[in-house]
Structure 1
Amino acid sequence: MVRPLGVQLYTVRDRMKDGRDEVLRRIADIGYGAVEPYDPLDDPQGFRRVADDLGLVVSGTHAFDLLRKDTGEVLDAVAALGTDSVIVPAGIPEEEFTTRDGVRRAAELLNGLAEKASAHGMRLGYHNHWWEIEPRIDGVHAVEVLADELAPGVFLEIDTYWAAVGGAEVPGLLTRLGDRVAALHVKDGPGVKGEPHTAVGSGVMPVPEILAAAPADAWRIVELDDCATDMLDALAAGYAYLSGLERV
């Protein structure tokens, strides 16, 4: 099953300061069918009302606050958003991914959070950056070691751009991780740390090959951390590119 294309709302964080509802309307007007919030505690009931009115599905939500606030409060907010997928986007020290013992500690933390999420009827996921990719443990990317240590119900949201920046051959990585991958962050750019991202389809990423290597039912979520052009224009260009591919 191919799910609707989504947007990670961190992409438009600055635009949303001046009017969340209008930005969500623009995203829906472009053609996106899903959104992924990054702060579930920020008016979850109001957010869901607007998303529902616009026909936008909440595919999941990042929830950094799981690592620093009462998990019950955070998970209640996630439930109010209307999703059962909650994702830890960062917050585990980077150095933990440089040794096998460190990866095991990271997995223990995530597995513990996954048990709490399961008690709320939710699945927990983890989102990578480059620091879970660059280190190799016995020749294997740290994120792959992490996958082996995670409980079966914990999924991965693979940020394909940061995986490439970290040195992975992304289609191969996705193939090896298989059904552990429940979501992708699809982004593009020059493939260099510190350089602005570009609209999907206008950078160096082999997007068609990446999408073909991922599970067919994984969410495809467009995200640009920053961009040299207008973010909404970049989202529109990325949508046009992705919707024009034979398989997204």
Structure 2
Amino acid sequence: MPRPLSVQLYTVRDQLAEDWPGTVRRLAGLGYGAVEPYDVLSDPRGHRLILDDLGLTVSGAHAGQLLAPDPGPALDAVATLGTDLAIVPAGLPPDDFTTREGLAKAADRLNSLVEPARRHGVRVGYHNHWWEIEPRFGDGDDAPLRHAVEVLAELLDPAVFLEVDTYWAAVGGAEVPRLLHGLGDRVAALHLKDGPGTKEDPNVAVGGGTMPVPEILAAAPGARRVIEFDACAGGTDDLFDALAASLTYVNSLEAA
């Protein structure tokens, strides 16, 4: 049975700040079956109780605190929320993705989290933006250039997964279905978002922009699907309308 479609809670960060239970209740009412928290240290036990009561699972959790000197509290929180995917959403210097030495350093940092994560019963992964995509590396005169994240993947412990933000990958210059095919089983989750393909403009409902969503889904059939908006034009009602339209569109593709 396929996993329920998830929504990254950063999408509704302003609404959560005003009414956390009411906001996730509204997401459940739209038909979402899972969420991906981003503020894991903020009452993970209380949030887990609310999510359980609504029948919402946790597809994964973003935890920048994993890069703290002691990742234990973040890993405790992720485990308490009830997910097996602990995701580093940022925090590695963008300059690390511009040289092979920097990529080796980034890989070492992520690999150092494998054993602490395993002790907590979770896996650790990394979520990209555009700066892990834009730099390209060649391996010889006839070899095709590869995106930095592709080189990084080869340096990672097999236990480290990737959550590919498909929109930022496209903004960074990737042909996203090809990228996903190349990364293969390393991709455990996808962020699905849509828009005009620029860094500055707000997102639109998935299916309403430039992203080749059917091809993306086909390229990573086993990955968990997470809807996200970094920004959405309009107010709260416009945002929830876009979330509802995204859910309907992605579900229609999954059912086809």
TM-score if structure 2 supplies the norm length? 0.94
Listed one character per residue, the Cα deviations across residues 185-221 of structure 1 (whole Å, up to 9, x for unaligned) are 000000011111111111110111110111x221000
CA distance 1:226–1:105, change in 2 (3 Å): same
Q: 1:48-63 alignment to 2 at 5 Å? A: 48-63=48-63
Partner of 2:244: 236
CA deviations 1:154-177 (Å, max 9, x no partner) are: 000000000000000000000000
Give the alignment's TM-score, normalised by structure 1: 0.97
Match of 2:86 in 1: 86
Q: 143, 161, 164: which one pairs with 2:149?
A: 143
Q: 2-side partners of 1:69 and 1:207: how far apart?
A: 38
129 and 247 in structure 1: CA distance in 2 versus 1, 3 angstrom threshold: farther
Q: Which runs of 4+ in 1 moved over 2 A?
A: none
Distance 1:26 1:246 in 2: 23
Describe how 1:201-240 pairs up with structure 2 within 5 A: 201-214=207-220, 216-229=221-234, 230-240=238-248
Secondary structure at 1:25's aligned position in 2?
A: helix
Does 1:9 pair with 2:9? yes
Separation in 1 of the partners of 2:64 and 2:130?
Answer: 17
Show structure 2 runs of 5+ residues with no match.
139-144
- 1:190 is matched with 196
SS of corresponding position for 2:131 = helix
Deviation per CA, 1:101-120: give whole Å up to 9, x if none: 11010000000012211121
Please point out which of 161, 181, 185 is paired with 2:187. 181
For residue 246 of structure 1, report the CA deviation from its aligned partner. Answer: 4.1
Query: 1:19 maps to what in 2?
Result: 19
Whole-angstrom distance in 2 between the partners of 1:174 and 1:246: 17
Q: Aligned-pair distance for 1:247?
A: 4.7
| Distance in 2 between residues matched to 1:24 and 1:115, nearest whole Å | 32
Q: Return 5+ residue gaps in structure 1 as ranges.
A: none
Counterpart amino acid of residue 105 in structure 1: K
Q: Distance in 2 between matches of 1:32 and 1:131?
A: 30
The RMSD of aligned alpha carbons is 1.2
1:40 counterpart letter in structure 2: V
Distance 2:83 2:152 in 1: 25
The answer to whether the Cα contact below 8 Å between 1:212 and 1:247 also exists between their aligned partners in 2 is no
Corresponding residue SS for 1:156: strand
Given the alignment, which residue of 155, 159, 167 partners 1:161? 167
- Measured after TM superposition, the shift of residue 66 of structure 1 is 1.3
Counterparts of 1:247 and 1:209, CA distance in 2 = 14
Between the two structures, name the one with larger relative contact order (CA 8 Å, sep ≥ 6).
Answer: 1
8 Å contact kept, 1:127–1:156: yes
| Equivalent residue number for residue 141 of structure 2 | none
Greater CA drift, 111-120 or 128-137 = 111-120
Distance 1:82 1:37, change over 3 A: same
Asked if 2 retains the 8 angstrom alpha-carbon contact of 1:84 and 1:121, the reply is yes
Matches within 5 A, 1:23-38: 23-38=23-38
Give, as a single letter, the amino acid of the residue that structure 2 aligns with 1:227.
C
Please identify, of 70-79 and 12-21, the stretch whose mean Cα deviation from structure 2 is larger. Answer: 70-79
Give the 3-state SS of the residue equivalent to 1:130 in structure 2: coil
Describe how 1:113-124 pairs up with structure 2 within 5 A: 113-124=113-124
Helix, strand or coil: the match of 1:97? helix
Distance 1:167 1:86 in 2: 27
